[in-house]
Amino acid sequence: MIGKNVIKKEEISGVEVKETLEEFSQNYELNYEQNVTLNHLARFPRFSLEDSQEIMEKLENDIGLRHKVAVHIVDLIPQDLSDLRLIFAKEPTQVTKEEMDKILEILDQYYPEE
């Protein structure tokens, strides 16, 4: 990455990375790391781009989660409270069981088809 400057640093969801790489691959050849990333992202069920953005918006606005945590939730798609607790294990703010139940309800509305 010699000669490259970081212009902006922001967490983005896996589906955004996948779509960006697919778009990029139409005009350019992907390097090894990009190919591995794209293959990995294609193997697992994901929310659509529109759904992931809606979910992140709901998690940030309705529940008050940080953007980074919302991205992790959308990428990992936790299916129960124990999965969700693992995401919050190292977070500085505590989330109540009621908030976790609400997160799971939001995810159930958009759950991707396998």
What domains, with CATH codes, occur in the chain?
9-114 (1.20.1250.40)
Q: What is the pLDDT along the chain (114 residues), one digit of tens a residue?
A: 455 788 888 899 999 999 999 999 999 999 999 999 999 999 987 889 999 999 999 999 999 999 999 999 999 999 999 999 999 998 888 899 999 999 999 999 987 554
- What are the contacts of 33-38 at 24+ separation with CB within 8 A? none
C-alpha to C-alpha distances, 93 to 27, 72, 90, nearest whole angstrom:
43, 15, 9
pTM (2 d.p.): 0.84
Structure confidence at residue 111 (pLDDT): 77
Alpha-carbon span 110 to 46, nearest angstrom: 10
Structure confidence at residue 1 (pLDDT): 47
- Backbone φ, ψ for residue 44 (5° rounding): -110, 145
